[in-house]
Structure 1
Amino acid sequence: MTDTPVSEMSFEQAMKELDSVVDRLERGDVSLNESIALYERGAALKKRCEDELKRAEEKVAAITLDGDGNPTGTTPVDGL
């Protein structure tokens, strides 16, 4: 686990750490208290990844296309 706050992580950082958390929990070689802490961190990392994916989807959805399907620009999306 890193000391980086989840809210400051990129999607890639959060995903990498989430994979590490899952691996450690699956091995089952951590104490109950550490398992709980890992689970809580994992839940926060999962939410961060979901939020970042949603933001990316909204950006992609905001790309406008011309009649031939070529990108012509973007349309502002609330919250971006």
Structure 2
Amino acid sequence: MTPNRNPEMAFEDALEELEGIVETLERGEPALAAALARYERGVHLLAHCQGLLDGAERTVALLTSVDAAGEPTTAPFDATATADRPLPDAPKARASRSVATDDGIPF
């Protein structure tokens, strides 16, 4: 097997081929030389898929606000912006009690 020479290979096609390689290697079917060649091909496919995912991540934009004209303003996606960020506390329910006259009952 040769490394991926097609930089235009679709993510889905590369992932499908990579999954097939993993299944074949997990079954232990190929001889050692063939297994090593498939493993090498898998590494190239994995790098290709990761590159496509990185490129897609850079193109994702987040809506940050709306300007005075009602047009959305966006910012580039930052995956680290929410990493290890504590979750906000749930809003506390406000008790809605009506103010009662003091009738001597504590509740």
Q: Same fold (TM over 0.5)?
A: yes
CA gap of 1:38–1:6, structure 2 versus 1, over 3 A, is farther
**Greater C-alpha Rg:** 2
Q: How far apart are residue 49 of structure 1 and its match?
A: 0.5
**One-letter identity of the residue aligned with 1:56:** A
CA deviation map 1:32-54 (0-9, x unaligned): 11001000000000000000000
Map 1:54-69 → 2, pairs under 5 A: 54-60=54-60, 63=61, 65=63, 67-68=65-66
* Stretches of structure 2 lacking an aligned partner (at least 5 in a row): 77-107
Task: Give runs of ≥4 in structure 1 deviating > 6 Å.
Answer: 73-76
Which residue does the alignment assign to 1:27? 27
Relative to the length of structure 2, the TM-score reads: 0.55
CA gap of 1:29–1:57, structure 2 versus 1, over 3 A, is same
CA deviation map 1:8-57 (0-9, x unaligned): 31111110000000000000011111001000000000000000000000
Q: How far apart are residue 74 of structure 1 and its match?
A: 6.5
> Is the partner of 1:5 in helix, strand or coil?
coil
**One-letter identity of the residue aligned with 2:65:** G
**Aligned counterparts of 2:32 and 2:18: Cα–Cα separation in 1:** 18
Relative to the length of structure 1, the TM-score reads: 0.72
**One-letter identity of the residue aligned with 2:48:** R
- Are 2:17 and 1:38 aligned? no
**One-letter identity of the residue aligned with 2:63:** L
